[in-house]
Amino acid sequence: MMILSLFAALATAPLNNEPVVSRQERDAIVEAAGFRPSLGGAFWIWRDPSDPESECDAAAVDIVELRDRNDDGRADALIAADGPCYDNQGPGHLLVAATGSGWRLIAADLGREPRFYPRTGIEWPDIEHGDADIRGCRAFDRWDGVAYAAGGTSREGHVCELRPPFAQKK
């Protein structure tokens, strides 16, 4: 009996440290990020919404973290996608949020190592991404109340340069 319980636990454990979600929930999260399964279901295909002619086969799409990032009491999913369309530079990341009726894409094209920094009075955290400049500052996106927009540059959550419309008016 103990051997069967151990086998059942191993059979349902994620192989790559992915958070444990049902296959149906995982598919809903990944599809909300803009992916659809390939014909055989072996990998995911992503199409850029701004370019209907583009199509990218992602060798792997993983949910790397489930966490409430905007304090609404629901988990948000950080997704890593890796494949030939990412130039073998490591996975790109996307952020998908739980809604009352499913999931929706919040931010895409977050690069290899997105970092999240909460800001007082802003619903979603700033997201640093990309490579650092000579000062050690990386590009960051900031929530504008509707969507993420280029916010400027920051280093470990400390703003180096703030872009309009986020810059304070004099």
- Whether 86 and 93 have beta carbons less than 8 Å apart is answered as no
Residue 139's DSSP bridge partners are: 129, 153
The pLDDT tens digits along the chain (170 residues) read: 443 333 333 333 444 566 788 989 999 999 998 888 887 777 888 776 667 677 777 667 889 999 999 999 999 999 988 877 666 566 788 999 999 899 999 998 787 789 999 998 899 999 999 888 999 999 999 999 999 999 999 999 999 999 987 765 54
Q: Model's pTM, two decimal places?
A: 0.79
- For the beta sheet containing 92-99, the strands, ordered from the edge strand earlier in sequence to the opposite edge, are 60-67, 76-82, 92-99, 102-107
